[in-house]
Amino acid sequence: MSVLKTVICGDILDFVEDPAKGQDTSYRYFSPGVLVIEDGIVQQAGLEADILPALLAESSDYQIQRYDNKLIIPGMIDTHVHLPQTEMIGAYGEQLLTWLTEYAFPTEKKFSDEDYAREISKRFLDELLRNGTTSALVFCTVHPESVNAFFKESQARRLRMIAGKVMMDRNCPEDLSDCPETSYDDSRTLIEKWHNVDRLSYAVTPRFAPTSTPEQLQKCGKLLEEYPDVYMHTHLSENGDEIDWVKQLFPEAKDYLGVYEDAGLVKKRSVFAHAIHLSDREMETLACNHASIAHCPTSNLFLGSGLFNLARCEKHDINVGLGTDVGAGTSFSLLQTSSEAYKIQQLQKHKMSAFKGLYLATLGGARALDLEGTIGNFLPGCEADFVVLDDHATPFLKFRLPHTETLHERLFAIMILGDDRCIQETFIMGESVHKRDL
């Protein structure tokens, strides 16, 4: 059987460390560079002049694809997004709790129909790939049909995806409610069916503390004990009214995170979306247990939830990734999401570089999902999911970019002014799966 060998030529950029720990040593930039891939796995990345002549002298089997003056980055990683809210993105005028009741819950009821869930999954994955997102941590609905549909479509596309059935047994519509035992049984069946199949992983998914009884949260903890390498995915401290509600529902807990802690849900591979309003104790607990945060800036602004404090996470050395949080989030684009993250930090007088923004969208996301070494950069052995960025994709970018002088200026212009139009091509395991019409 022949081995598929590919050399991608362009300006190669990836990250090997968090820029907050030393910007100049956090990234690798090869211009002009090459990315060498065999059977969907990265073999090496470096300067074209150092690698390509020797490679071709050794073998003529390599297929060369040139993207001169284009930027090649690892596929971007969305650490928090809702499949069933695809069709309701941009719903007007409410904050979190009312928004859930008025918009999210009615839409999610449709996903008891697996055919419908399959059609939305196709649209959802098309949008991710069109925006250069190659992996995601995904909320489905309470219906097992939604998970089966999403995983079937993801598997057919050879995608690295993580998802789970929502678990909620109170404070939700009756036809979206399960119970501790059925939620445990359904989740266990789905884990056995899908977890670690091809590039798929399962996430135990209690929606958030107010929609789960202590008994259901204990069942979540039991699943994590029985399947130690699955993920746990939920929401945390997004909204002031939500936090007050949690205090009423769980008066014995230390704080909001303490509710999850008491159920054994705070661990490595636990990803908490939002985490805007945390105490020092909660920050320290997340750090000590190697849990991660998904920062969702467009959603936080759209719902008026608050300003995420990235500096505190850096101080506590908590892994943070970016989440679009569609449909409260307003774009599938992690470039636009990075742009809003920058503005949120500006409001708190914390300067976020373009290096940090792209780190959060790539290696930062991989670290948040405990997938460093698998996705997130171009070190040897990583899966070859990557994106070709066109920084002249719009008339204004074409005008703006010649006025940049440094790599950071170039990246910052792309981060602030870029969107899905900058994604020229998206690759999964070394094969093109989306190409923008030129």
Q: Residue 183: in which H helix or E strand, if any?
A: helix 180-194
pLDDT of residue 93: 81
Q: How many CB atoms lie within 10 A of CB 424?
A: 20
Query: Are both 5-74+377-435 and 76-368 of the same fold?
Result: no
Tokens 């399959």 belong to residue? 118
CATH class given for the domain over 5-74+377-435? mainly beta
pLDDT higher than threshold 70 for residue 399 = yes
Q: Tell me the mean pLDDT in the region 188-210.
A: 98
Q: Residue 133: in which H helix or E strand, if any?
A: strand 133-139
What's the token pair of residue 387?
Answer: 């994106």
| DSSP string computed for 310-377 | HHHHHHHT--EEE---TTTSS-S-HHHHHHHHHHHHHTTT----HHHHHHHHTHHHHHHTT-BTTBSS
Measured CA distances, 346 to 30, 236, 352 (Å): 30, 23, 8
Residue 301: what residue type?
Answer: L
Pairing of β 423-428 and β 431-435: antiparallel
Tokens 């000590």 belong to residue? 288
The dihedrals phi and psi of 207, each to the nearest 5 degrees, come to -55, -60
DSSP state of 230: S
pLDDT higher than threshold 90 for residue 210 = yes
CB contact set of 248 (below 8 Å; sequence gap of 6+): none
pLDDT of residue 69: 93
Q: First-to-last CA distance in the chain?
A: 35
CB contact set of 139 (below 8 Å; sequence gap of 6+): 80, 81, 82, 83, 84, 163, 164, 166, 205, 207, 233
Is the pTM for the entire model greater than 0.75? yes
pLDDT of residue 426: 98
DSSP state of 75: P
Q: Tell me the mean pLDDT in the region 99-121.
A: 95
- pLDDT tens digits, 53-65: 999 888 878 999 9
Measured CA distances, 230 to 84, 163, 269, 369, 412 (Å): 22, 10, 7, 11, 36
Domain boundaries, the chain: 5-74+377-435, 76-368
- pLDDT tens digits, 305-338: 999 999 999 999 999 999 999 999 999 999 999 9
Grouping H, G, I as helix, E, B as strand and the rest as coil, residue 161 is strand
Confidence of residue 2 (pLDDT cuts 50, 70, 90): low
CATH fold of 76-368, please? TIM Barrel (3.20.20)
Tokens 């998970």 belong to residue? 147
* CA-angle at 164, arms to 163 and 170, nearest 5°: 145
| DSSP string computed for 10-68 | EEEEEESS-GGG-GGGTEEEEEEEEEEEETTEEEEEEEHHHHHHHHHHH-S-PEEEEEE
Report which of 246, 314, 333, 355 is spatially closest to residue 24, judged by C-alpha positions.
355
pLDDT of residue 438: 66
pLDDT of residue 134: 98
